[in-house]
């Protein structure tokens, strides 16, 4: 591996930094976008059941708020209703929307950086390719001189290694970015549906 880095020259170092950052983001997002961590399967039913029973406690709401992002979103109108019993339906909806925006920002965390790496890595590989080509033409020296085979080989190696490494970084980063993007969109759609159902349930209970 060290020999490859040496052959690729200095243009490969930005790609190495990008690869480390991309790997860190991918691991972090895989951990923090798990269903059990973001939206526990039975959470919505538990909240609906407790709301219908009109037996909600501050401890339960606090546990939901800190337990998961879905819990933070769904418990926001419950918390607001406890603090403002005479609030309107629009105020309850606004409280949930505010919590939903905060949760969406947490879901999107680092995804922009991962998408940027997926876009920039091929360009950095192309930069290395151009530098390698410059090395090749520079190896020819003055007009009519015979090119140095060693310098030619170094230039070709630099060009090919940087191109390959740029693609090796960009392709997994792009695949993971699309996967995480679709996962986040699915979460948000599900939360919107569940939030509307919860607000409808609260509306019927207040009558």
Q: pLDDT tens for residues 39-86?
A: 998 899 988 888 887 777 888 888 998 889 999 999 999 888 888 888
Say which range, 1-10, 41-50, 177-186, 193-202, has the weakest mean pLDDT.
Answer: 1-10
Segment 22-42, tens digit of pLDDT: 999 999 999 999 988 899 988
pLDDT at 10: 77
- For residue 153, what pLDDT band results from cuts at 50, 70 and 90? low
Four-CA torsion 48, 51, 53, 58, nearest 10 degrees = 130
Taking 90 as the threshold, does the pLDDT of residue 113 lie above it?
yes
Buried b (16+ CB within 10 A) or exposed e, 127-161: ebbebbeebbeebeeeeeeeeeeeebebbbbbbbb
Taking 80 as the threshold, does the pLDDT of residue 176 lie above it?
yes
Say which range, 52-56, 118-122, 195-199, has the weakest mean pLDDT.
Answer: 52-56
Taking 90 as the threshold, does the pLDDT of residue 133 lie above it?
no
- For residue 5, what pLDDT band results from cuts at 50, 70 and 90? low
DSSP 160-178: HHHHHHHHHHHHHHHHHHH
- As a whole-number percent, the residues of the chain with pLDDT over 90 amount to 44
pLDDT at 114: 95
Taking 90 as the threshold, does the pLDDT of residue 135 lie above it?
no
Average pLDDT over residues 103-119: 94
Q: Is 188 exposed, middle or buried (0-12, 13-18, 19+ CB in 10 A)?
A: middle
Q: Could you tell me the residue ranges of all domains in the chain?
A: 2-206
Per-residue tokens: 205: 């209970």
pLDDT at 104: 93
Taking 70 as the threshold, does the pLDDT of residue 8 lie above it?
no
Q: pTM for this one? A: 0.82
How many C-beta atoms surround the C-beta of residue 162 within 10 A? 27
What does pLDDT average to over the chain? Answer: 85
pLDDT at 184: 95
- As a whole-number percent, the residues of the chain with pLDDT over 70 amount to 86
Tell me if 11 sits within 8 A of 100, measured CB to CB.
Answer: no
CA–CA distance, 152 with 177 (Å, rounded to integer): 38
CA–CA distance, 207 with 196 (Å, rounded to integer): 17
């Amino acid at each position: 591996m060290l020999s490859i880095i040496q052959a690729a020259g200095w243009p490969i170092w930005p790609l190495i930094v990008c690869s480390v950052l991309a790997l860190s983001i991918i691991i972090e997002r895989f951990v923090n976008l798990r269903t059990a961590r973001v939206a526990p399967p039975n959470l919505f039913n538990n909240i609906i059941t407790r709301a219908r029973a009109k037996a909600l406690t501050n401890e339960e709401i606090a546990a939901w708020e800190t337990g998961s992002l879905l819990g933070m979103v769904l418990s926001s109108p419950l918390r607001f209703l406890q603090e403002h019993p005479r609030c309107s339906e629009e105020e309850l909806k606004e409280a949930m929307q505010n919590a939903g925006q905060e949760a969406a920002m947490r879901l999107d965390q680092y995804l922009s950086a991962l998408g940027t790496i997926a876009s920039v890595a091929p360009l950095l590989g192309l930069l290395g390719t151009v530098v390698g080509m410059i090395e090749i033409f520079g190896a020819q020296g003055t007009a009519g001189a015979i090119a140095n085979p060693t310098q030619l080989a170094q230039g070709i190696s630099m060009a090919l290694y940087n191109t390959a490494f740029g693609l090796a970084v960009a392709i997994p980063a792009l695949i993971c970015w699309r996967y995480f993007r679709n996962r986040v969109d699915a979460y948000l759609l599900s939360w919107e549906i569940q939030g509307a159902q919860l607000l409808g349930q609260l509306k019927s209970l207040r009558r």
